[in-house]
Structure 1
Amino acid sequence: MTNPTPDGTEDRPATSAGSALGRAVAIDPVKFAEAYWGRQPLLTRADEFAGPGGFRDLLSPEAADELLSERGLRTPFLRVASKGTVLPASSFTGGGGAGAEITDQVIDDKVMKLYADGATLVFQGLHRIWPPLIEYARRLGAELRQPLQVNAYLTPAGNKGFATHYDTHDVFVLQVDGTKRWRVHEPVLPDPLERQAWGGRADEVGAVADGPAALDVVLAPGDALYLPRGWLHSAEAQSDSSLHLTFGVRALTRYALVEELLTMAATDQRLRATLPYAMDVADPDQVAPELTETVAALRDWLLTADPAEVADRLRARDWPSQRPEPVKPLAQLAFAQALTPDDRVTVRHGLRRQLTPDGAEHVVLRLTGRTLRFPAYCAVALRSVLDGSPHRVADLPGLEDDHDRLVLVRRLLREAVLVPDS
């Protein structure tokens, strides 16, 4: 659930008991943000959640079977891991048959044999292909204001797909079916960046994993576990097969700010200066004065950095990583064509947007990867229709007549900014 901002630019996270986050943690979102987010794991048992509980509505074993057998699943939407090793795709994929010129479709009987032999099936990118997870991931991502990826892990009884490792993103684990034992250890590298994967510290990870766990629990259906990035973990199915969902939160870090600042710093002539003639860059004594001068120049430049420019750069990084709700092209175009003043529309859920003036004559609507320009007299109507609430076309303010309102709304529908209010 999201709430509109006063200027109608973006959705803010909801904090009500019925929020998407409330299905992953049972504590107040403010307490979660202050005490757990990015700091420490949080275990939530099924009986702590309000409502009916369980996660089978998001993905069930029957749904997993359907994906494997009837949906024409392709790589990389499925990985298969056995004894800590990811198997080559050729071991479980093949041609799609007559009329399907595809060579990497999942072959159900190959998958069945691998699974029977103890392999873990990893469904990837389910936030793109399975409707219940498309909707829930969109809602959870909007509340967290972070892009999400959704994987599912189907593990035979008594097996585990991967050795102890850490992720470079936070995760919410939702146990759907069966039971799985999780052993969690403190980080060997707190807050790792994506480039700092656990494989580069395998010896440290293995040594810590041999010691006592910070958390050793068995997750049953309806249980949930939050793990910040960097926390070591391994998971093993118990006496029955296990199905769990993992929501990976790919948040930006302060290092992203550093990267953008260094790119912007190329405008400073002192920082573009050539190193001294014939300098031996392997000699610390020759490097030292240049390092001192460079640090001083960088410090001086950083004090002049423009937050607005940094925000523009971070927007270019962040916005493309999160897709808005799906649009049905045929139905959308038909609705736009037949639009009447009595029809109701609303902004597309999860659409990242920003409406700003562009001189005296125009306003600009910034979207992911594109910019739309409108006459300035459309500004009032645009702010209204972009506020996140449903609107009747005839009620949009600031325009002279219904003809102007229909022209504006049709364009916004064809640009996939608005959708019918259903």
Structure 2
Amino acid sequence: MSAGEPTGASGLAGRPPQPGATPALQRCIGIPAGEFARRHWAQRPLLTKVAAPAEPGSVPAVDGFGDFTDLFSAAAVDELISVRGLRTPFLRMAKDGSVLATSTFTRGGGAGATIADQVADDKVLGQLAAGATLVLQALHRTWPPLVRFGSELAAELGHPVQINAYVTPAQNQGFAPHYDTHDVFVLQIAGTKRWRIHEPVLADPLPHQTWDARREQVRTRAAQEPVIDTLLEPGDALYLPRGYLHSAVAQGELSIHLTIGVHPLTGYDLARELIAAAEGDRDLRRSLPLGVDVTDVDAMAGHLRTAAARLTARLNQVDADHYAAAARRVGRQQVGQTRPAPIAPLAQLAAITGLGPDTPLVLRPGLRPGLRPASGAWVLDLVDSTVTWPEQAHAALLVVVAGKEFTPGQLPNLDADEQLVIARRLVREGIVVPVGATGVDAAGADGS
């Protein structure tokens, strides 16, 4: 689709998603999800070619793979830059391995907008013409088709995702060889780009173990034989576990690809929660002896052994309730990093007014509330808030969190007036939506 072509009924550049569309993860890998989980997830790269593979290590795509036109396009880039009013940090630009100053592609917002960092379409044009790469960041927050896709993918993976787009002029490279501290799916949208992939210099790096602290190792590894050297064409996909080195160069035409970053929950994250539980131990909170020599390795090693023994003893005392509390904290942190399906505030208000016993409702897709008891009441833990409900609403809340379509009149253990009161509050709090309001039908609302 060219920039001058009309958009679909939704007003978005790109075709609408088709009924019965392939699950989000399947679209990123092109092979059965079970095979991906066994052979590739957090283990090794996967290159999927939309056409028959002609290079070692790549696999042919299954039917239905390779059409990303409903997610993003060149027209989408133009719309985001020219009329959506993006600000930093939702975009950045880079050239020859260096990030450009924001002043080179932004300016003030003009009358009525007292900001200094709104995207300037003419400046972006100039930088692209000079060979710079444009990065549109956090599209899972700003571009509606990717808001939906990101939410669906995060639900399938169980880990938060971010989605960026990279727009690189012909024969140019935006970034030098590097690795990410999150897993990556690459979806080639337009043009072609040559990717070179190298083994990690540090396997499974944590978020603070970034590549710039290992520049020399990265430079040395990048000079060696790559494990993958491939040309990504429109419809091709690439999966990289965190830590794998990569660099990419656009070929004979402008290249656009999506990079989907997956921020995984790790055993290290769980260990930190367990260590935090030890703060109740007074011995661990005590100061080390007065006059301690922190440069005395033997003495400090002894203190560390004592602390380790005390920590082990403390963790052995942790009961099921403490584990449950820690698990709840971890779960809420993860949920807070993923945006649920968008809601329309004015439509929600109108739905409250028109709500009746037969109005079909469904849990807001991607919300994933946690239901727990609390002092004779029940609490729904949401993204960054909690909502308390009376004891008699428990059975009704179980219906809601199950994720299937329901009507107020189907909420159990409540009379007709109570059913409407509970349902209206659920709508007002953004916990449930009228069926079809977010473009997700009830059959798929629970991620199935």
Range of TM-score over shorter length: over 0.9
Q: Secondary structure at the match of 1:24?
A: helix
Q: Per-residue deviation at 1:356?
A: 2.2
Deviating above 3 A after TM superposition, structure 1's stretches of 4 or more consecutive aligned residues are none
Q: Secondary structure at the match of 2:176?
A: coil
**Matching residue of 1:351:** 367
Aligned counterpart for 1:388 among listed residues 399, 403, 407:
403
Q: Per-residue deviation at 1:258?
A: 2.2
**Matching residue of 1:420:** 434
Q: How does 1:401-420 map to 2 (within 5 A)?
A: 402-420=416-434
Matched, 1:23 2:24: no
Aligned counterpart for 1:219 among listed residues 224, 232, 244:
232
Preserved CA contact (<8 Å) 2:30 2:65? no
Preserved CA contact (<8 Å) 1:356 1:365? yes
> What amino acid does structure 2 have at the position aligned with 1:333?
L
Q: Per-residue deviation at 1:17?
A: 8.7
> What amino acid does structure 1 have at the position aligned with 2:426?
L
Matched, 1:102 2:115: yes
Matched, 1:33 2:37: yes
Aligned counterpart for 2:354 among listed residues 313, 338, 351:
338
Equivalents in 1 of 2:270, 2:348: separation in Å? 38
Q: How does 1:19-418 map to 2 (within 5 A)?
A: 19-47=23-51, 48-51=61-64, 53-305=66-318, 306-359=322-375, 361-400=376-415, 402-418=416-432
Equivalents in 2 of 1:325, 1:201: separation in Å? 38
> What amino acid does structure 2 have at the position aligned with 1:314?
V
Q: Secondary structure at the match of 1:59?
A: coil
- Please, which runs of 5 or more residues in structure 2 have no aligned partner? 1-19, 52-60, 437-448
| CA offset digits 1:259-289 (Å, max 9, x no partner) | 2222221111221222223332211232233
Q: Per-residue deviation at 1:109?
A: 1.0
Equivalents in 1 of 2:117, 2:62: separation in Å? 40
- CA change 1:58–1:298 in 2 (3 A) is same
Equivalents in 2 of 1:237, 1:123: separation in Å? 17
Question: Under a length normalisation based on structure 2, what TM-score does the superposition of the two structures give?
Answer: 0.88
Preserved CA contact (<8 Å) 1:148 1:248? yes
Equivalents in 2 of 1:285, 1:212: separation in Å? 43
Equivalents in 1 of 2:281, 2:63: separation in Å? 56
Q: Secondary structure at the match of 2:368?
A: coil
Equivalents in 1 of 2:298, 2:24: separation in Å? 57
Equivalents in 1 of 2:309, 2:115: separation in Å? 57
- Between 70-79 and 361-370, the greater mean CA deviation after superposition: 361-370
Preserved CA contact (<8 Å) 1:346 1:386? no
Equivalents in 2 of 1:91, 1:155: separation in Å? 17
Q: Per-residue deviation at 1:363?
A: 1.7
| CA offset digits 1:127-176 (Å, max 9, x no partner) | 11111111111111110011111000000111110000000000100000
Preserved CA contact (<8 Å) 1:168 1:193? yes
Q: Secondary structure at the match of 1:332?
A: helix
Q: Per-residue deviation at 1:369?
A: 2.1
- How many equivalent residue pairs? 405
Equivalents in 2 of 1:317, 1:240: separation in Å? 42
Q: Per-residue deviation at 1:315?
A: 2.4
Preserved CA contact (<8 Å) 2:93 2:100? yes
Question: Under a length normalisation based on structure 1, what TM-score does the superposition of the two structures give?
Answer: 0.93
> What amino acid does structure 1 have at the position aligned with 2:433?
V
Equivalents in 1 of 2:71, 2:21: separation in Å? 19
> What amino acid does structure 2 have at the position aligned with 1:20?
A
Q: Per-residue deviation at 1:386?
A: 2.3
Equivalents in 1 of 2:300, 2:109: separation in Å? 60
Q: Secondary structure at the match of 2:380?
A: strand
Q: Per-residue deviation at 1:52?
A: 6.6
Once superposed, what is the RMSD of the aligned Cα atoms? 1.5
Preserved CA contact (<8 Å) 2:66 2:234? no
Q: Per-residue deviation at 1:36?
A: 0.5
> What amino acid does structure 2 have at the position aligned with 1:312?
R
